[in-house]
């Protein structure tokens, strides 16, 4: 003896209401599995050490007082980028969008 489909749907709906589940007869992917999990943000944030003061922060702090500081690490990085660019190993040029292309054609 087969049970009517509507009766099974009513039973599933009642079951979901009792156990606080989502009723999803079309079996769509709703992401409930992810939403039920505990949040990972606070525990992941606690894993990494707190940010300390960097040389750039000191430069920003004392810039208004007229002090100039030399960041050797940053200077070395910029020099390496310049050397790589001269060898053709730099970053590729930025892709131009359609409005930029139109304005470049008008200027010619």
Residue 69: which of 78, 85, 57, 87 has the closest Cα?
57
pLDDT of residue 65: 85
| Tokens matching residue 44 | 């992941």
State pLDDT tens for residues 44-59: 888 888 888 888 888 8
Res. 108: pLDDT tops 70: no
Res. 12: pLDDT tops 80: yes
Q: Where are the domains of the chain?
A: 1-36
pLDDT of residue 84: 94
Res. 31: pLDDT tops 80: yes
pLDDT of residue 4: 93
Q: What pTM value is reported for the model?
A: 0.40
Q: For the chain, what percent of residues have pLDDT higher than 90?
A: 33
Contact 59, 69 (CB under 8 A): yes
Neighbours of 59 (CB within 10 A): 15
């Amino acid at each position: 003896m087969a049970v009517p489909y509507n009766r099974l749907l009513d039973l599933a709906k009642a079951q979901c209401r009792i156990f606080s589940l989502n009723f999803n007869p079309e079996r769509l992917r709703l992401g409930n599995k992810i939403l039920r999990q505990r949040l990972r943000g606070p525990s992941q944030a606690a894993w990494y050490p707190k940010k300390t003061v960097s040389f750039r922060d000191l430069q920003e702090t004392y810039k208004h007082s007229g002090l100039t500081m030399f960041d050797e690490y940053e200077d070395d990085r910029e020099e390496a980028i310049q050397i790589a660019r001269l060898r053709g190993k730099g970053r590729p040029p930025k892709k131009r969008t359609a409005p930029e292309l139109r304005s470049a054609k008008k200027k010619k």
